[in-house]
Amino acid sequence: MAIIATGQISIVDLSDGKSLSCYITSNLPKVQVSDPNPGGGLNPDWTASPSLVLTPVVFANQTALPLGSAGLSVTWKRKEGAGTEAALASGETASGGVLTIVQNKLVGVPSGLLTYLCYVTYTDPETNIPVNIVSDITFSLIQTALHAQSVWISGEQLFKYNAEGAVSPAQIALTAHAANVSIARWQYRNASGEWTDYPTTSDNTAINGATLNVKPTHSVFVGDGATLRVLTSNADVTDVFSIYKVRDGQDGTLGASAPMAFLSNENLSFAANANGQVAATTRVCNVVAYQGTSKVTPAVGEITGAPAGMSISKGAAADNEIPITLSISANATLGGAGPQQGELLVPITSPVNTTLKIAWSKINTGATGQTGAAGADAIVFSLFAPDGTVFVNGEGSLVIEAAAYKGAVEISSGATYAWAQYASGEWQALSGQTGSSLTVAGSMISGVGTFRCSMAYGGKTYTDTLTLTDKSDNYQANIESSGGDVFKNAVGTSTLLCRLFQNGQEVDAAGEEHTYTWYRRDKNGDALDEGAAFATGKSIQIDGDDVDGKTTFICEVS
């Protein structure tokens, strides 16, 4: 038989002194995500509209007390992590019992956990006895992982002079390709070996852009070579590039064309995760050689200096260039979990005897952020009702939504959901409800209805509950207590009578048309009597042994 109405009454033993109940509603989710990458930010942003608004919902003996009621006072405090309670800070304002937060307060909390505590005092005008209760709500900050960061330079590397001294090209444009970093500035290495900011001229009015124009007349060459580098917003993420001047020898017996060899990229960096591990990848740089202004194929010896996890191979010549491939095996640390660097020695035997060097570095730029004490991969699961938790006159419907995050990423797949409603002293599954949201019609509850969502994800189950209230119903069950709702020192007796009304008129006064089943919950809202019925009948007798501090008696009418 369907339940048509539910009534409840709380009997309080004043030796424990509690007869209030309070919960806090939030207009925003209890999880805030921080993205430290370029273009990221905070979601939701408490400084935007709407700001974070916390509203206490207070009941005295299950009767709602509107904020501002006579005898009702509300004060707020805050607590960071497991620290001590403190007064509200700037950007946190309480007015009329409602707390508004207009700053992103979680950012400054080391633990990533911020709790707001609502202290409620109600003085009953009939008894003049003050009763206190405290309720709290906790918000957590999740930080996303920092994306891998890199930069590399592309462009020509040679200014070619013929025997008459004419140069080609007249200008070389270098381009810095940046990933998840911004360009800070360009520099060159002077004759003393020191890095110096590239001079600003009409060719480069600024040196913090992605493009740099280099001319052979710029005062950045040491002899016939210029070594350049680009700096980024991350001091550890840079790239080095070299440009050379090559000249034809004089005709006849006056001279021979000068030989030279160089690398297409002298500086290679590899991004690693928080454990110092590099994903499987390959990088290629070419050995380039010239005899005067004529490009020739170089002879390359055995390359040495590779760390564990890095292998090196030489390829066949293409366009007179010898490709050198650096292969990194999956999860290689290249010598250790921390940042690493080194040099590869590349011996050249033709057209010139020299040793070139490839500088490599490993940068741990993929460290995972924190989510308070749980870490970035913690599963956070909670229920909230974006349109509120109170029905009016049993009309319409309310939506309960499940918010789930793994680290900073909202869980949108791979999870299954099961919903249940608390009725008849136990959780009853809602058939067919397997989505991440539940639409509750006003007809589904009588007075108070509690719903539970269980999310199965990654081999584990996560659960949260939410209570909806119907302040009016076609059937209204009112509980009357002949001995009042207060026992003193566990002494007292009372007859609890469930009176049933429909459209304002009492029905079933004799208790013969409907079934009346009674349940109990303790002061924490947990079911007593192992979920079984405490008693049946339109009226029941209770005494001090049935009340421990605060006991709520619920009568379901069916």
Between CA 242 and CA 239 the distance in angstroms is 10
Residue 84 inside a domain? The answer is: yes
Longest dimension (CA), the chain: 130
- Domain termination residue (choose one: 92, 112, 145): 145
- 263, β-bridge pairs: 287
pLDDT higher than 80, residue 5: no
Residue 376 inside a domain? The answer is: no
Between CA 514 and CA 73 the distance in angstroms is 41
Residue 98 inside a domain? The answer is: yes
Quick one: average pLDDT of 275-281?
86
- Domain termination residue (choose one: 80, 113, 145): 145
Token pair, residue 375, equals 């870490």
Task: Compute the mean pLDDT over every residue in the chain, rounded to the nearest whole number.
Answer: 85
Residue 529 inside a domain? The answer is: yes
| Closest alpha carbon to 464 in 384, 397, 406 | 384
Supply φ then ψ for residue 297, to 5 degrees.
-85, 125
pLDDT higher than 50, residue 214: yes
Residue 41 inside a domain? The answer is: yes
- What is the tens place of the pLDDT at every residue in 133-165? 899 999 998 887 667 788 889 999 999 988 888
Tell me the pLDDT band of 379, cut-offs 50, 70 and 90: confident
DSSP conformational letter for 528: S
Which value, in Å, is the radius of gyration of the alpha carbons in the chain? 37
Of 4-18, 263-277, 324-338, 364-378, where does the model show the most confidence?
324-338
- What is the tens place of the pLDDT at every residue in 216-252? 999 999 988 999 999 998 888 899 999 998 887 555 4
Between CA 236 and CA 185 the distance in angstroms is 14
33: domain CATH number is 2.60.40
Residue 342 inside a domain? The answer is: no
Tell me the pLDDT band of 17, cut-offs 50, 70 and 90: very low
pLDDT given at position 370 = 45
| Closest alpha carbon to 156 in 100, 216, 207, 82 | 216
- Domain termination residue (choose one: 122, 145, 168): 145
- Cβ atoms of 124 and 71 within 8 Å: the answer is yes
Other C-beta atoms closer than 10 Å to the C-beta of 13 total 22
- What is the tens place of the pLDDT at every residue in 487-537? 877 778 899 999 988 767 888 899 898 999 999 988 777 888 887 899 999
pLDDT given at position 16 = 43
| Bigger pLDDT: 314 vs 396 | 314
pLDDT higher than 90, residue 445: no
Between CA 392 and CA 382 the distance in angstroms is 25
- Cβ atoms of 231 and 196 within 8 Å: the answer is no
| Closest alpha carbon to 219 in 241, 239, 194, 201 | 201
Between CA 420 and CA 35 the distance in angstroms is 35
Q: Poorest-confidence range of 215-219, 277-281, 381-385, 553-557? A: 381-385
pLDDT given at position 102 = 96
- 419, β-bridge pairs: 453
| Bigger pLDDT: 443 vs 204 | 204
pLDDT given at position 37 = 74
Residue 503 inside a domain? The answer is: yes
CA angle 548, 422, 378 (to 5 degrees): 95
Residue 378 inside a domain? The answer is: no
Supply φ then ψ for residue 209, to 5 degrees.
-100, 175
Helices (H), 143-241: none
Between CA 291 and CA 261 the distance in angstroms is 9
Tell me the pLDDT band of 375, cut-offs 50, 70 and 90: very low
CA atoms within a 13 Å half-sphere pointing along the CA-CB vector of 102? 5
Other C-beta atoms closer than 10 Å to the C-beta of 236 total 15
Quick one: average pLDDT of 76-85?
93
Domain with 527, as residue range(s), is 475-557
Domain count for the chain: 2
- Cβ atoms of 334 and 309 within 8 Å: the answer is yes
Tell me the pLDDT band of 365, cut-offs 50, 70 and 90: low
pLDDT higher than 50, residue 254: no
